[in-house]
Every structure is written in structure tokens, then in C-alpha cells.
Structure 1
Amino acid sequence: MASARSARGLHKLFVGNLPWTVGNQELRSYFKDFGKVLNASVVFDKKTGLSKGYGFVTFNHLSLLQNVENTQKHILEGNYLNVQKS
């Protein structure tokens, strides 16, 4: 499956430990400093509407994803983010 993603040029990151105040726009805004973000989505609980504290960010270039991974610390609204390839 990873090769299928690479063939299409989509590179996805899991982002954990998001503050509950962060929505899709804030997530996109943070990661756009690394390059063009194709999609940024925070996962919300369907019953409560509250953030589950994680989301996903998709880039179209592997080099952008690698730039994110090479950055030692990611801090958003005071939380250290857990960033991993998805």
C-alpha cells in the first residue's frame, strides 16, 4: 500500500497529541510552513463533536514529509505533537 501512495504522490502523516482547540484550519496552517498541504483533518468524536486529539496531514511530495520528520519538535498551542508516517 505504501508504494501505491508513493506512486500517486500522496504522503500522509499521523499527528497525535493535538490540543482540543485545534481544528482542520489550524492544523493546515501549522504544516503549510513545510510546503503545500493537500489535506489536513482533525478527527472528531461523532457523538460529542469534540476533537479526539489526533489527525492526518497529506503532502504531495516526499521531501515535504521528510522535512517535517527531520524537525525535532513540533509544538502547537503549547502541546508537543507526535508526528509519524501514516
Structure 2
Amino acid sequence: MASARTARGLHKLFVRNLPWTVGNQELRSYFKDFGKVINASVVFDKKTGLSKGYGFVTFNNLSLLQKVENESRHFLEGNYLNVQKQS
């Protein structure tokens, strides 16, 4: 599956430690400073509707993903984010 994702030119990040106040729009807004975001989604609990504290961001350009990885720290709404490339 990872090779299919790469073949289509999509590169995905796994983002942890999201504040409960962050939704899809806020996540997209933060990462669009690095370049064009194809998709940004926060995972929510189906029963409570509350954020599970993690999400995914997809870029169509590997250099944008590398730009994010090269940033030493990511800080959003009071939390330092843990960002890692999804394989």
C-alpha cells in the first residue's frame, strides 16, 4: 500500500499530541504554511465526538513533507506536536 501511495505522489504524515481544540481546518491551516495540503484530518471518537489527539496530513510533494520533518518543533494551540512520516 505504501508503494501505491508513493506512486501516486502522495506523502502522508502522522501527527500526534493535537490539542482537543484542533479540528480539520486548524490542522490544515497550520501545515499549509509548508506548502499545498491535499488532505488534513483529525481523528474523532465516534461515541463522544471528541478528538483522539491525533490526525493525518497529506502532501503531493515529497519536498514539502521533508520541509515539515526538518522543522525542529511544531507548536499548535499550546502543544508541541509529534510529527512522523507515515510509511
TM-score by length of 1: 0.98
1:24 is matched with: 24
What corresponds to 1:81 in structure 2? Answer: 81
- In structure 1, give the amino acid aligned to 2:9: G
Give, in angstroms, the shift of residue 68 of structure 1.
0.2
Aligned-pair distance for 1:2?
Answer: 2.4
Any idea what SS the aligned residue of 1:81 has? strand
Partner in structure 1 of residue 60 of structure 2: 60
Identity %: 88
The number of aligned residues is 86
Runs of at least 5 residues in structure 2 that lack an aligned partner in the other structure? none
3-state secondary structure, aligned to 2:7: helix
Alpha-carbon displacement from aligned partner over 1:18-52 (angstroms, at most 9, x marks no partner): 00000000000000000000000000000000000
Distance 1:63 1:3 in 2: 17
* Aligned alpha-carbon RMSD (Å): 0.6
Asked if residue 39 in structure 1 is aligned to residue 39 in structure 2, the reply is yes
Q: Secondary structure of the equivalent of 2:27?
A: helix
Letter in structure 1 aligned against 2:52: K
* Displacement after TM superposition at 1:6 (Å): 1.3
TM-score normalized by the length of structure 2: 0.96
Task: List runs of 5+ in structure 1 lacking aligned partners.
Answer: none
